[in-house]
Chain A
Amino acid sequence: MSIKKSLMTAGAALSALPMSVLAQNQVNMSPGVTRVGAEIYDLHMLIMIICIVIGIGVFGVMLYSIVYHRKSKGFEPSQFHESTKVEIAWTVVPFLILIGMAVPATSTLLEVYDNDDAELDILVTGHQWKWRYEYLNAEGENVSFFSNLATPQEEIYNSEAKGEHYLLEVDEPLVIPIDTKVRFLITANDVIHSWWVPEIAVKRDAIPGFINEAWSKVDQEGIYRGQCTELCGSYHGFMPIVVHAVTQDEFQGWMSAKRADKAAQVAASSVDLSLDALMSEGEAVYQTQCLACHGAQGEGGVGKAISGSSIAMGDIGVHLDVGIKGVAGTAMQAFGAQLTDVEMAAVITYQRNAFGNNTGDVVQPSDVALHKQG
């Protein structure tokens, strides 16, 4: 322990990080807040302890040899070799130990795979580079939203101090009720992603064209954070997952509020907004949705430049088409379903008037709605 400690101290001395962060140096898997997670943790500890015990035995024998059976100490080598009895023993004994491991592993695996009787279904869709959640509901309208990284670029590029939940914070978390068997139906829109929240013991690949199932029944209220765990392109490291586990009552309240929000959005799309209102909303949308590919100054990057672009300064219809339908075969996604009409109108207006694109054009939510209808 002392070696590890001194190395950690050396690391801390070199680091400009505050001491409080050091307390977070977790070294082991977390048992999490679900029964399955705790079982997985126990299994992990069991196998690890067996390995450590065997390791101590093997390394002990080796160390004894290294210390005592030295040529420099004048030790005469024996010439023994081959012993059928010994060789049978070290084949059969490990085999029996493996059977001992396989039994609990099988029962835990069967539990992980028991997706029946879920009380709530949530469709999780991986997009480059954000998650979309849709609460499936047999009776009423589904509630759905996108969950984007909320860490500002300034923190990522070191011009501002990093917050406590750096890279593990989103604009809108997934909300689930505790003591409820929640089934996640996991898929992807573009490339393969993987949805992982260690504390609730769910990791399943999100694969375009497939719908994978996983489930969790969370015991404790709390905020649980995870990340995408399958390389999915440039911003793979920047699509976190945040899960708020709340009581059943709070969940119902949240759900009603989301439904009300949705109704309000529909109403808002028939109201015209001022250029200033559209620009400030548009800037916010640009920063979460467009900036990663098109650059902070619209200079381009993965995507084309917005500044001086023939699309952003040309025909409004073409510009709306690109925004709503995306560009097939490129990383430019169809944002029509991802943004509300107000957000789409705002960001299109913003792109047409920011970065030196002073077209003076104003696109209203109603224009977007009209364009979507064809």
Chain B
Amino acid sequence: MGDHHHGPAKGLSRWLFTTNHKDIGTMYLWFSFAMFILGGTFAMIIRAELFQPGMQLVEPGFFNQMTTLHGLVMVFGAIMPSFVGLANWLIPMMIGAPDMALPRMNNWSFWILPPGFLMLASTLFMEGGAPAFGWTFYAPLSTTYAAPSVTFFIFSIHVLGVSSIMGSINIIATIMNMRAPGMTYMKMPLFVWTWFITAFLLVAVMPVLAGAVTMMLMDIHFGTSFFSAAGGGDPVLFQHIFWFFGHPEVYIIILPAFGVVSQVIPAFSRKPLFGYASMVYATAAIAILSFVVWAHHMYTVGMPVAGELFFMYATMLIAVPTGVKVFNWVSTMWRGALSFETPMLFSIGFLVLFTIGGFTGLMLSIAPADFQYHDTYFVVAHFHYVMVAGAVFSMTSAVYFWLPKWTGRMYNETMGKVHFWISFVGFNVTFFPQHFVGLAGMPRRVPDYALQFADFNMMSSIGAFVYGASQILFLYNVIATIVAGERVSDEQVWDGAEGLEWTLPTPPPYHTFEVPPQIEASPAHG
């Protein structure tokens, strides 16, 4: 079979029927960027309404639809698929495999996503409007009191869940079975390691989410009372189930981001990662802890004090492996020979802002203090520091880092740097003031607010428009690179980059590593 070479099929069928990991990776990346723009548009509507006190643009009910869809689209449509796209492109190339282990399932994992999101987006045009109960969809607001479109939301979540589970099984199967000879587990690049652990998290918790929405479906249509106190059910049970999924979900989003940064920082520091093994163990420790901290999202539901204490201590513990990671990245930079190309800028941006998000996370873990922070803009600021400056900055870094390899063309470095600085300033102007309004008492998910919050909200909105606009520059730069970027023929692309993907020609041919490479005995990352 090894001598059976062929290129991609022509036209639309190439994309519809492809089982090639590079094509599927590309589709995931473009799809997630489209979702990022859609979710971003919802965010712009939210920030425009919050520009000044009073209701100006939308009605409160529609505002809630926007916050709900913004969260759902960004989490399930933008961030998660973008990292799956990255995994598709990179994991086979990083472990010396010709493709993913289950290529046909790979095709299906991607192609059920667009219909899933069409179904979710279509709820905007339904009578009663789109889901308006927040991305956390707490019952009974999402069951007894929801608009009829909630049923479409439920099926959409099912479809996205199936896609994620299949994608994860594929990643696990690929990593376990397709590594080139000599590529032992402890030689795998950290990006592969973080995705390996993430995939197990996904397989463990996506079915839990599917269970939660199915119970909602039963409550809404078949007369059960899982979450209805009037029928003997328990609305708090919903929150326990949701967050048993939801907290690992947070790490599902951030662990691959850690992986990217662990590839980029050593490359531009021209120095090996300080502690490869401890990074692997720290990732595993974070993943395991993520299963026992879920109720820190629920400190105010009235849990017994023993429960509060358990979840508080367990949550505080996460600071230890997270600290190990941050210290490792900083030590990797220490006495390296640093250069600041766009991928490095976004990774350093990640490191600084994610650390700030980590600090506010530690503050939020303190249960008695959380009674004052909970469900305020302080929380909104916290999770945007870890989700946007964490996951999205890392993803952006990854695109700039590997785009020259993928396309064989170099992006415009000046434009990349401008993109970084506008993003960095825009992001902080948006989200830093939200710490202040949150501490001063502004609840989240409100379409209007008291006058003392006006100035910081206006600042936030201006920052958001700037950050949003900077993404147009990013899109332009990527398209310009693909169409007319300066050609790169150097296999290495970046002088400090390490790993099998950089041994391939630039751009890599349609099929790579049809003959497995031999990995030298010395540790590649140790």
Given contacts A71-B339, A82-B274, A162-B54, contact A106 B320 (CB under 8 A): no
Q: Which of A21, A70, A105, A165 has a CB less than 8 Å from the CB of B368?
A: A105
Shortest beta-carbon distance from B310 to chain A in Å: 11
Q: Which residue of B lies closest to A227 (CB)?
A: B443
The yes or no answer to B153 lying at the interface (CB within 8 A) is no
Q: Is A318 an interface residue (CB 8 A)?
A: no
Q: B300 and A231: CB pair below 8 A?
A: no
A165 contact set on B, CB distance < 8 A: 450
Tell me whether A209 and B60 are in contact (CB under 8 A).
no
Let me know if B372 and A228 touch, CB within 8 A. no
Q: How far is the CA of A69 from the CA of B441 in the complex (A)?
A: 43
Return the CB mask of A65-78 against B: 1 if under 8 Å, else 0.
11001111001111
Across the interface, do B429 and A7 meet the contact criterion of CB distance under 8 Å?
yes
Binds B, one of A42-50, A134-142, A264-272, A274-282: A42-50
Q: Shortest Cβ distance from A54 into chain B, in angstroms?
A: 8
The reply on A205 being an interface residue by CB < 8 A is yes
Q: Among residues 299 to 333 in chain A, which have CB atoms less than 8 Å away from a CB atom of chain B?
A: 302, 329, 331
Mark out the residues of chain B between 316 and 375 whose CB falls within 8 Å of any chain A CB in the assembled complex. Answer: 316-317, 319-320, 323-324, 326-327, 330-340, 348, 351-352, 355-356, 359, 362-363, 366-369, 371-372, 374-375
| A36 to B465 CA separation, bound complex (whole angstroms) | 40
Known contacts A91-B320, A229-B374; is-contact A69 B337 (Cβ 8 Å): yes
Is A55 a contact partner of B278 (Cβ separation < 8 A)? no
The docked-state distance in angstroms from the alpha carbon of A196 to that of B274 is 46
Q: Choose the segment among A150-158, A254-262, A335-343, A363-371 that binds chain B (4+ C-beta atoms closer than 8 Å).
A: A150-158
- Contacts A94-B319, A208-B230 supplied; 5 other A-B pairs, CB < 8 Å: A15-B454, A25-B452, A71-B339, A77-B336, A81-B275
Task: Give 15 CB contacts A-B under 8 Å.
Answer: A26-B439, A40-B369, A55-B356, A61-B334, A62-B333, A69-B338, A75-B336, A77-B335, A98-B317, A194-B300, A205-B300, A227-B443, A237-B60, A237-B446, A237-B449
Q: Shortest beta-carbon distance, B276 to chain A, in Å? A: 8
Cβ of B368 and Cβ of A209 under 8 Å apart?
Answer: no
Instruction: Decide: A55 and B355 in contact? CB cutoff 8 A.
Output: yes
Per-position 1/0 for B439-478, Cβ under 8 A of A: 1110111111111101110110010000000000000000
Any chain A CB within 8 A of the CB of B144? Answer: yes
How many of B's residues come within 8 Å of A, CB to CB?
98
B263-294: CB near A (< 8 Å → 1, else 0) gives 00000011111111110000000000000000
- Shortest beta-carbon distance, A55 to chain B, in Å? 6
* Chain A residues with CB below 8 A from B308, complex form: 109, 113
Residue of A nearest to B277 (CB): A82
Question: Closest approach, in angstroms, between the C-beta of B148 and any C-beta of chain A?
Answer: 12
**A77, B271: Cβ atoms closer than 8 Å:** yes
B270 x A27 contact (CB < 8 A): no
* Chain B residues whose C-beta falls within 8 Å of the C-beta of A329 in the assembled complex: 144
Contact A109 B301 (CB under 8 A): no
A66 touches B443 (CB 8 A): no
C-alpha spacing A234/B317, complex, angstroms = 38
Contact A70 B337 (CB under 8 A): yes
A71 touches B302 (CB 8 A): no
Assess the A203–B300 pair: CB atoms within 8 A.
Answer: yes
User: In the assembled complex, which residues on chain B have CB atoms less than 8 Å from the CB atom of A373?
Assistant: none
A55 vs B440: C-alpha distance in the bound complex, in angstroms? 23
Is B132 a contact partner of A234 (Cβ separation < 8 A)?
A: yes
- Pick the contact of A331: B145, B278, B326, B450 (CB < 8 A): B145
CA A96 to CA B78, docked complex, whole Å: 38
B377 nearest CB across to chain A (Å): 11
Q: Range of interface residues on chain A? A: 35 or more
User: Is there contact, CB below 8 Å, between B319 and A98?
Assistant: yes
Asked whether any CB of chain A lies closer than 8 Å to the CB of B122, the reply is no
Is A108 an interface residue when CB atoms closer than 8 A count as contact? yes
Q: For A203, what are the chain B residues with a Cβ–Cβ distance below 8 Å? A: 300, 371-372, 374
Find out whether the CB atom of B55 lies under 8 angstroms from the CB atom of A192: no
Contact between B363 and A78, CB atoms less than 8 A apart: no
* Chain B minimum-CB-distance residue to A42: B369
Q: Is B229 in contact with chain A by the CB < 8 A criterion?
A: yes
Known: A78-B271, A162-B53, A207-B301. A11 touches B455 (CB 8 A): yes
A69 x B333 contact (CB < 8 A): yes
Which residue from chain B places its CB closest to the CB of A108 in the assembled complex? B368
Residues of B within 8 A of A8 (CB): 455, 459
B367 contacts A109, C-beta separation under 8 Å: yes
Q: Is the CB of B371 within 8 A of A201?
A: yes
B147 to chain A, nearest CB (A): 10
Contacts of B372 in A (CB 8 A): 29, 40, 44, 198, 201, 203
Contact of A127 with B by CB under 8 A: no
Which chain B positions have C-beta within 8 A of A28? 436, 439-440
Closest A-B pairs by Cβ, 8 of them: A209-B229, A237-B446, A24-B452, A212-B302, A26-B440, A51-B359, A71-B337, A77-B337
Assess the B330–A58 pair: CB atoms within 8 A. yes
| Of B229, B277, B327, B454, most A-chain CB atoms within 10 Å | B454
Q: How many angstroms between the C-alpha atoms of A87 and B280 in the bound complex?
A: 13
Surface stretch bound by A, among B4-12, B34-42, B133-141, B410-418: B133-141
Do A109 and B54 have beta carbons less than 8 Å apart? Answer: no
Does B234 sit within 8 A of A, measured CB to CB? yes
1/0 contact trace for B380-419 toward A, CB 8 Å?
A: 0000000000000000000000000000000000000000
Question: Is A355 part of the contact surface with B, judged by Cβ < 8 Å?
Answer: no
Contact of A236 with B by CB under 8 A:
yes
Q: Does B236 contact A (CB under 8 A)?
A: yes
Any chain B CB within 8 A of the CB of A230? yes
When the two chains form their complex, are residues A196 and B443 in contact, meaning their CB atoms are under 8 A apart? yes
Q: Does B313 sit within 8 A of A, measured CB to CB? A: yes
Cβ–Cβ contact B366 & A43, under 8 A: yes
By the criterion CB–CB under 8 Å, are A231 and B133 in contact? Answer: yes
Q: Which residues of A contact B270 (CB under 8 A)?
A: 71, 77
B363 contacts A194, CB within 8 Å? Answer: no
